[in-house]
Structure 1
Amino acid sequence: MLLGRARGTSKSGPDCASTFRRPPTRHRTCTACGAGAPPRARAGPGRAIERDAQRVYASQGWAGFPDLPTDPAQLGCDFFTQVDARVPFPRARHRGRPRPRRRSSTARWCDLPAASRSAPCWTCVPSTFDVRPGKAFTVKVSVTAPSREPLGRSAVALRVPDGWKVSGSGDLGRLAPGRTGSATFTVTPAGAPGDRARVAATLTTERGGGYTDRQVEVSPAVRGGQQALPQVEQYEKWVGALGVPQLRGLVAPVLTLPSGGSREVGSWSPT
């Protein structure tokens, strides 16, 4: 799951991807296209098609977008923030720096036998998104071997932020064709409420390996917030119903206040 934006800054031109700098965050950021894309993508109609697609949304005020510059040095990159993943993906190799990504498929996101690449080959699922300092939660990792190929002796390792504690064995045994192995870890978090962190799992087998991670948030015992506009409250309920708490809080709960006026703010509790 990707958001069509990312917090951070970068220079324009062919180095827009390598010069991207983001504020402290636990989100993964990737570059989809732009000046850092292959020359054909920069000079071809792809960018123009993107701009024409934006202009279609006239009711959103987007019809007035100007033509893009023809000078590649003035073009920037399109950045996306990954907020969730249900398939393995490449591990970030450069801290604070996105890795340019071209056309890719699930097949490139998991270094396992070809028969397993057409579907998610394993999952990493925390028991809860909201975690509390000092209160343990569990993380279950499940791996299924391809129906026609064994993975052999397999194991998974869990990586958490500094100061957190992990217990549990990641030994999955020998995974014959079609067999599923699971490992459950107990994680005790630390940190201040409001921090978000990644729980990362690395799989090793006799046939290859893979990587995936999930996000959790260190939460207080009681959570409250500013009264939300009806649309914002609807969004927060939608996030909960959809099961993607990572998207929580992306829409600011602002309230309008006229110049010289006043407004009573009622109580509100996020769900």
Structure 2
Amino acid sequence: HDYTVLLDHTAGLREKEILVCQGFRAQIIDGLILSPIRMATEDLLGRTDTSPLVLLGEREYDAPFDHIAIDNVAAARAAVQHLLDTGRRRVAFLGARHESAREPAHLRLRGWREAHTAAGLRPPEPLVMATDGYDRQDGAVAMAALLDRGERPDAVFAFNDLVALGAMRVLASRGLRVPQDIAVAGFDDIEEARYAAVALTTIAPDKRAIAQIAVDCVVERIAARTAPVPRRILPGFELVVRESTVERRG
């Protein structure tokens, strides 16, 4: 499209996200694709810059801007359904948060619950573990706490791949085999998931489609220069089954 692209890293800080959103470079940009982590709907509604804005990311916003994000509920449901289809019946969820129901963690937990209900099972709520963050250490701490209190699952669905990898490290240290004793599935399909000692089953968002749709949307808005009718666009995802849920044969 012959545009020059400027990248700003906001480090997940609300004040930096607001600064970008409010158009601190309004004099030199035609449009903005923003992936906020900490901003609230109120911050977006208070935006005074009139340049076109397209949102990325898994948080939900009730704001008049195009938003491209995968369907967290459906993706989580697919991952948990896979675990249930392998015969597991005590599927833990690692990565719950005590925040807004629009947060990705709540949406993925909802998918976890829906998969159990669809299978005719009561969701095992004692196996839901909150985490302070979403890194390897957070997964390790949550997995250890779950095992220490005697709530041993036969499968784990983690908020993301990093949490899953932390959990798998703890399982190995406790002498539990993946997937023979406890199956593990993650979310995001990061490179490390493919090359772990036990390759991780995960949800792979269609990142190429997300990028293409985001650029198409912002270019369309720049050309139209009209008040947007907000669209929520859900690119696809794929359940990538690997060794962490299906035992390798031969």
Tell me the TM-score normalized by structure 1: 0.23
- Per residue, is there more strand in 1 or in 2? 1
Q: Which has the higher helix share?
A: 2
Task: Please tell me whether Structure 1 or Structure 2 has the larger radius of gyration of its CA atoms.
Answer: 1
What TM-score do the two structures reach when normalised by structure 2? 0.24
